[in-house]
Amino acid sequence: MAATVLVVEDERKLRDFIRSYLERAGFTVLSTGSGAEAITMAADAAPDLVVLDLGLPDVPGEAVARELRSASAVPIVMLTARAAEEDRIRGLELGADDYVTKPFSPRELVLRVQAILRRGGGPSAAAHGVTSYGDGTLVIDEPRRTVTVRGAAAQLTPTEWGILGALATVPGRVYSRLELINKVRGYEFEGYERTVDSHVKNLRRKIEQDPGNPAIIVTVLGGGYRLGLGRDN
């Protein structure tokens, strides 16, 4: 069954252009130029991914992203004409999985959408079962792609899932930011270090008791990140 992508872009020609490329790639596409309508459509249709322009005329794209992220972990690819690094980081910290600056190649956008959906869609092809860490503090159910922390379910985006899964592969091993971005995205891009940091920051908000003093995802100065919990026997 084809994945459904919701395209939210107020420029009609660009919206139709994106739609045509995604449909040619085999996706079912819904589209709108309204942020308010996008929120309603996402709730009703439960798309597999949202392509979201930040410069919407009615509801700011940032507000739409917050609303989408408060309701679900649907992957979000943000579109914007703002190329500054701080703008990219701010978008990622709102919960976006990727960030594309205008003008962009529609083929590149399609490839990024495909990469995100491969990471997050459906049961894993390498389903290893259920693994717990730290005497049950963290439980990763690979076949169901679910995570529980201290008994409570954590709703992760595909990128957050990928980072946690990579760190959990070898608990205690330090993974550099470059290793993590390559494992999670499958490609490199400018500004990758701060991108990883933004996703880790979001992930810590969801799984750490004290995000300011993390015990699950530990920062290693000059190295990267490691899982601070051991795998249970």
132 CB burial (10 A radius; 0-12, 13-18, 19+)? middle
pLDDT at 123 over 50: no
Is residue 48 in a domain?
Answer: yes
Is residue 144 in a domain?
Answer: no
Together in a domain, 112 and 28: yes
Together in a domain, 103 and 162: no
DSSP H or E run through 29:
strand 28-32
At 198 the pLDDT is: 86
Give exposure, 80-95, as e/b (b: 16+ Cβ within 10 Å): beeeeeebbbbbbebb
Given 66, 94, 120, which residue is the final one in a domain? 120
Together in a domain, 172 and 106: no
Nearest CA among 155, 133, 136 for reference residue 145: 155
- Which whole number is the average pLDDT over 29-43? 93
At 210 the pLDDT is: 94
CATH number, domain at 79? Answer: 3.40.50.2300
Together in a domain, 16 and 116: yes
CATH number, domain at 177? Answer: 1.10.10.10
Together in a domain, 9 and 85: yes
Q: Which of 64-73, 116-125, 146-155 has the lowest mean pLDDT?
A: 116-125
Is residue 159 in a domain?
Answer: yes
Given 104, 120, 136, which residue is the final one in a domain? 120
Counted domains in the chain: 2
Q: Is the bond into 103 cis (omega within 30 degrees of 0)?
A: yes
Is residue 110 in a domain?
Answer: yes
Together in a domain, 100 and 174: no
Domain that holds residue 201: 154-227
Query: Per the structure block, which two tokens stand in for 185?
Result: 């995205």
Is residue 217 in a domain?
Answer: yes
Task: Convert the pLDDT of each residue in 170-216 to its tens digit.
Answer: 999 999 888 887 777 655 555 556 778 888 999 999 999 999 999 99
